[in-house]
């Protein structure tokens, strides 16, 4: 895990960063936790959930289990198990379902699933300390499964490896799709999020399910921008995943992901608040300390918002700290580019105003601009590497 980075206690750890949230379920909760830590949150759900009460596949699986009760039932999520029982109640078969499940052995993947089982009046026989489906599978395979009927409550995505392993061991597996994912009914928020990522306006993308990751890439493929999205995720945009199952579609595309040790939203946000400040670029400039965040800069620990054009110029200068960067290079760095170097001068003026100190960026007559890197600073860490400034 990334080591904590010291910042001003008055500055929230995610202040100055923009985070995209792709979730449908619990998106508001996740976004609120990030906003409390200072982040700007863009919400673009990459999927939607079929309400369990309307799910004909779940109804069919439920009736099948009542008719032929399972020997073993695996509950993978508390919310999924509760939704299943509530849907069965709505269909008038709630007591019948509980009787069928209670006639066999119940396993809970984690404490929330265990709590939901017990709240329904039943008792689980075992739950893995790791809260992982892999350990549940290992536990099941340690016994004789020949001829056993096993109900597996899915948690948003199929579990083909688990099902295949159980079937090879001789079990009959009934998959219970407590909630299923479909493309979002309104695609506009997702498209806006994609546009923001491709424009460099997002610092991290948060994923809480594998279908959300797959849905995002699918939409980008439909728009013809899948390669651009992958370049962003392999480069400046952090891919934050709640756990390894969620990360799998991204890692299959050679996208490095960051995950918490425990697959929980709170742990996910804490990992993000440790990771993002550590990724910020820090420079000693004109006797001050600059920290470049996504859409803002810390100047001596004080957060200062910077317009997108100014931020683009500052990043261009920071890639060559202390060296002169010509107007033509700076012009190319501006959003939208252009061919009028006066645009650089206007954006530079606004940048200096935003920073609150015009001496941080020096004008080099007839040559361009440079960050006034402190000569005595020595090697400057830039993106994890040391770059020696050219102090001409």
What domains are defined for the chain? 18-48+184-279 (3.40.50.10090), 52-179 (3.40.50.10090), 281-387 (1.10.10.10)
Instruction: Answer yes or no: is pLDDT of 336 > 80.
Output: no
In this structure, the number of other CB atoms found within 10 A of the CB of residue 383 comes to 11
The average pLDDT across 43-57 equals: 83
Note the pLDDT tens digit of each residue in 355-369.
Answer: 999 899 999 998 999
Note the pLDDT tens digit of each residue in 52-68.
Answer: 767 888 899 999 999 99
pTM of the model: 0.74
Residue 151 has what DSSP assignment?
E
Residue 377 has what DSSP assignment?
G
* Residue 51 pLDDT: 67
- E strands, 140-287, are 149-153, 172-176, 181-182, 204-207, 238-241, 257-258, 281-285
Beta bridge partners of 283: 290
In this structure, the number of other CB atoms found within 10 A of the CB of residue 42 comes to 19
81 neighbors 119 (Cβ within 8 angstroms): no
Instruction: Answer yes or no: is pLDDT of 12 > 90.
Output: yes
The average pLDDT across 236-259 equals: 93
In this structure, the number of other CB atoms found within 10 A of the CB of residue 24 comes to 22
* Residue 389 pLDDT: 32
Return phi, psi of residue 17, to 5°: -110, 150
Q: Give start and end residues of each alpha helix (H) in 265-326.
A: 265-279, 308-318
Return phi, psi of residue 29, to 5°: -60, -45
Note the pLDDT tens digit of each residue in 306-330.
Answer: 999 999 999 999 999 889 999 999 9
């Amino acid at each position: 895990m990334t080591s904590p980075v010291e910042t001003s206690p008055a500055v929230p750890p995610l202040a100055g960063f923009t985070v995209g949230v792709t979730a449908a379920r619990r998106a508001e909760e996740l976004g609120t936790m990030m906003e409390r830590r200072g982040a700007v949150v863009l919400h673009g759900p990459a999927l939607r959930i079929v309400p369990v009460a309307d799910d004909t596949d779940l109804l069919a699986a439920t009736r099948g289990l009542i008719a032929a009760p399972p020997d073993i039932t695996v509950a993978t999520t508390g919310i999924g198990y509760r939704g299943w029982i509530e849907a069965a109640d709505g269909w008038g078969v709630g007591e019948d379902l509980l009787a069928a499940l209670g006639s066999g052995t119940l396993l809970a993947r984690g404490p929330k699933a265990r709590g939901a089982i017990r709240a329904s009046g039943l008792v689980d026989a075992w739950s893995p300390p790791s809260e992982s489906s892999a350990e549940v599978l290992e536990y099941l395979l340690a016994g004789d499964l020949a001829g056993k009927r096993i109900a597996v409550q899915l948690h948003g995505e199929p579990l083909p490896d688990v099902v295949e392993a159980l079937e090879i061991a001789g079990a009959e597996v009934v998959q219970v799709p407590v909630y299923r994912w479909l493309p979002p009914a309104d695609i506009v928020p997702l498209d806006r999020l994609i546009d923001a990522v491709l424009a460099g306006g997002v610092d991290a993308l948060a994923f809480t399910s594998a279908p959300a990751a797959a849905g995002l890439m699918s939409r980008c493929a439909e728009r013809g921008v899948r390669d651009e999205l992958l370049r962003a995720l392999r480069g400046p945009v952090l891919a934050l995943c709640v756990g390894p199952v969620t990360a799998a579609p991204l890692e299959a595309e050679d996208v490095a992901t960051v995950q918490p040790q425990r697959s929980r939203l709170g742990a996910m946000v804490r990992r993000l608040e440790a990771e993002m400040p550590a990724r910020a670029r820090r420079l000693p400039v004109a006797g001050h300390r600059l920290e470049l965040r996504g859409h803002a800069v810390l100047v001596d620990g004080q957060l200062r918002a910077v317009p997108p054009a100014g931020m683009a110029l500052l990043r261009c200068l920071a890639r060559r700290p202390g060296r002169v960067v010509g107007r033509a290079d700076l012009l190319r760095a501006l959003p939208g580019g252009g061919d009028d170097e006066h645009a650089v001068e206007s954006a530079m003026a606004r940048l200096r105003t935003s920073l609150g100190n015009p001496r941080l960026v020096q004008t080099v007559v007839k040559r361009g601009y440079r960050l006034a890197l402190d000569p005595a600073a020595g090697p400057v860490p830039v993106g994890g590497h040391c770059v020696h400034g050219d102090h001409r």
